[in-house]
Structure 1
Amino acid sequence: MEAYSKVITFTLNKQDYAIDINQISSIERLQQITKVPGVSDSIKGMINLRGRITPIIDLKERLSIGNTTDSSESRIVIVENNASQVGLIVDDAKDVLDLDTTAIEPAPESMHAVKDSFIKGVAKLEGKLLLLLDVKQVIREEEKDQCKELHQ
């Protein structure tokens, strides 16, 4: 097992989160999103990203921690999920970190029931907690289907 895991860190409501860098294809500035009627509330719409239609999900809304307000710091983290591309709106993309895998602890049992186990681990860094997201759990099955339809 590798001693380090490379992650991208970002914030949502001043809380630090991370996603494994292998699941991320790019980080983009927030741009105009084309609304799509009849999709899940957390799907904000879609963008044309270098010729590829990309569904955009408000990560705060998906995690039930509020709604994103656009700012100059807001970013779209583009993740690859089952051969499709999805954008996640975050407050601010921060750093690429080499995270010591020994610093990662499993999410507490009390968190497993919350939000379908979005959190796959917790790391203690410089007096703060970094929540590691499981991208596969963040996107619901019906959202995956809706995102696939938007790709066509």
Structure 2
Amino acid sequence: MSEEVPETSTQYLSFILAGEEFALGILQVKEIIEYDTVTRIPGAPVWVRGVFNLRGSVVPVVDLAVKLGLPPATVTKWSCIVVVEVKLGGEQLVLGLLVDAIGQALELQPSEVVPPPSFGAPVHVDYLLGMGLPAGEKKFVLLMDLDKVLSTQEVLLASTLRTEAEAPVQEEP
């Protein structure tokens, strides 16, 4: 007989950025793919790594470390793109988040989540939902609020880059 999980628990996907463990609500994660060919877009903000082709769709890639004020990610064999869906004015947009490595799936009870500190966190506390301390662990996992990390204007800008990358290239006569 399996033990039933209380409805109040929340599942997260953890990942590593600049040596810290972060996590996103698992329902925002569409898929995880190996970091491969990302095309740079001239004039894009420094936190946009470029775009990549996901089964025929152009998807912007955000260097999450830069967006959070950390040193830019260095691509290694463990680097991944976490494909997420964000809402913008009722529309769902797909973005890729460059992370250093994938951690684990976590299930946290409300008692295992505490508010972020007002100081000392490696990222701006407004970007955090809280900090999770899974049972038996000694180190907190920083729970990200993706909607606050990527503002409406930034998501619009990233979707504009996607549209520009999809536009056919005009040949000069």
Counterpart code for 2:56: G
Moved over 4 A (4+): none
**Equivalent in 139, 142, 162 of residue 151 of structure 1:** 162
Shift of residue 109, structure 1, vs aligned partner: 3.1
When Rg is computed on C-alpha atoms for both structures, the one with the higher figure is 2
- Corresponding residue SS for 1:10: strand
Q: 1: CA distance between counterparts of 2:34 and 2:151?
A: 24
Q: Residue 10 of structure 1 contacts residue 93 of structure 1 at CA under 8 Å; is this kept in 2?
A: yes
Q: Residue 65 of structure 2 contacts residue 71 of structure 2 at CA under 8 Å; is this kept in 1?
A: yes
Q: 2: CA distance between counterparts of 1:93 and 1:77?
A: 9
Q: Residue 117 of structure 2 contacts residue 125 of structure 2 at CA under 8 Å; is this kept in 1?
A: no
1:16-37 C-alpha deviation (Å, 9 max, x unpaired): 1100001110011001111111
Q: Residue 114 of structure 2 contacts residue 132 of structure 2 at CA under 8 Å; is this kept in 1?
A: yes
State TM-score, norm by structure 1.
0.91
Match of 2:115 in 1: 106
Percent identity over the alignment is 28
Q: 2: CA distance between counterparts of 1:2 and 1:146?
A: 37
Match of 2:129 in 1: 120
Counterpart code for 1:144: V
CA RMSD of aligned residues (A): 1.8
State TM-score, norm by structure 2.
0.81
Q: 1: CA distance between counterparts of 2:113 and 2:33?
A: 27
Q: Which sections of structure 1, spanning at least 5 residues, go unmatched?
A: none
Q: Residue 6 of structure 1 contacts residue 20 of structure 1 at CA under 8 Å; is this kept in 2?
A: yes
Q: Residue 53 of structure 1 contacts residue 150 of structure 1 at CA under 8 Å; is this kept in 2?
A: no
Shift of residue 116, structure 1, vs aligned partner: 6.6
- Corresponding residue SS for 1:148: helix
Match of 1:133 in 2: 144
Q: Which sections of structure 2, spanning at least 5 residues, go unmatched?
A: 1-5, 164-173
Q: 5 Å matches for 1:3-152?
A: 3-82=8-87, 83-110=92-119, 115=124, 117-125=126-134, 126-152=137-163
The structure with the greater share of residues assigned to strand is 1
How many residues matched?
Answer: 151
Q: 1: CA distance between counterparts of 2:93 and 2:125?
A: 21
- Corresponding residue SS for 1:151: helix
1:69-128 C-alpha deviation (Å, 9 max, x unpaired): 11010111111011000111111012111112210112223479x637111110123001
